[in-house]
Structure 1
């Protein structure tokens, strides 16, 4: 897609109906269509400014607090990059070095870390029924702290991945697809295959496939969720996808045949995840401290995965897609056959062919997160973008 001038982004933003000021970002399907478009618009606008060496620092001071309860590379650095892009410093909350281990409550922790914070980013994706709830508990705590006069400002929250959705990833995925297909209007009627793929590891979160079917069905696409029998995702999210597809004029269906999903697909997203029932069981075992049960479940799931090694994004599978040239997506890191593992989600040759597009896909995430922050913290983001252009401060000094 041809890049627009900043004034075009600003005019488009002014034409959208959104209300994100002082609001949190939990799940994409809780946002209106115009609010999603506003995020993509501001992300592109911020990228436009940075590529033209114009500073986008809209904060003179302040903190972005990050809390990662699971390992992360891309999302951790994307959040740090987004905060820095806007002028915020990042402080990571290491729970192992905090008083949480000594019984500090969520309410107390949330207020203690928020005295000069503007944004809180949380990743909590490992336990069913826990992650999204924890984020809401934090948001409620800082709201009460602000209402009671403890916090002079209320830090807003960005979901950096929970047990239900991975909004920053899926919004970045969508922006990549929008650019690759030449505009959001060109997504209507295109087929996207969100498919389970074999992995030699177990326990991968459900939030990416759930986030994908919950978001891309908003865009009028023909979304197919493919997985072996027993690898179901949350039924609540399936219902969201069905509702979204009906409202957008797209479609949504589930198949237990990977070839069926890949046939004539314009976009494919082969990725492993753990069955919802297994993740529920895993959550309960951890709550009970049953280490033997956890080990037994891991052994069981690895054996179950091994029964479906043919669920892989091979060269043969890619030939089934539209003209054999579907856009391949992955949140990374991928399990690459013959590279990072003996057998995995994707053939090495397929991954290598799409390496640059995959890295471009990942490159949208810092801008998406920055856009979410800017929209949450400023009442008139279009005016902010205009003022940044007018100020014209160089990001890198050029003599």
Structure 2
């Protein structure tokens, strides 16, 4: 390592980024809305580890996928002998492993679970796609009912609409069961083989190991070739057709508009039957905001009993980009900003701020020791509903100046009275927010 590297400032790694306080407000707002909607639907939060044994993802996601083959952060740990460990590239496999290990399905009931947190893939970074990225996901495990598919889709739609997103498209497909896909795979390969040399390099590799992923290629020539490829909807068996028709009817009953997209296959091997994406026309190349579907074979593949399941994940970075385009920074919702000047007043201001916080108010205490004029300027920028002012005179008389920021009205009040009137003050503040 050169001396310049040692002496220079340390930067965040490519593909990672700092989420600074101003942007964090958007994240907190999204998480609060999602938690509220999921709580109302009886979903319970689960928090699996960020790293797992590598074979969990190799078996769960599929060794032929780009994620497992090219994108995972994998390393040997310090165990004896060393174990291969991977930072999670997605959330579903870890949730299913937790379900099996902790026997969560022992009661025989349906598990409605949700999670949020960082995921890791070694991808080419661009707007809306980082190597450390964040997802919010839900999983309904233990139901093969088409209503479960419709329910998770309705909840995703509810979250995005509550956040105020516009210009969204909803693509829907069925990838059938294993038998359907086996027949379709054969037909697709037969169609593509004459064009093998014209396909892009990644698609040529996928032709033998994961041909359905070719339908998801972004290469223009490959896309043109696949335009006339067979449709998987023509290869669905009677059970798969019935399930898909019921899902479509349920979505129509809910007033959820969708368009069929037979080319939609998703990037993970574990999907069966329903597959869907919610897409924004305002995001450019990385347009998918939410993606998911049914994965009836994954629990058994990872060592559990045969158990149907369906779920989705929202990419939070992409969601935040959209929200920043349509929403101002969510307000912090500060109740009081406390300014003080002088040794006794500053000591009293800390005590007062803490007493108000314990009474349930949000309070920012100015710690600068600056002149009142500069502290008042910061109070104005803080977005607080009211400002509390303590000088030497107030410290001696155990009073405080209460200034309402909107009206500029100001009056002196005893600190004891201020604390006794907490409920009355709370009502006034809520009416002004």
Is the TM-score greater than 0.5? no
Give the greater-gyration-radius structure (CA).
2
Structure-2-length-normalised TM-score: 0.21
More helix per residue: 1
Structure-1-length-normalised TM-score: 0.22
More strand per residue: 2
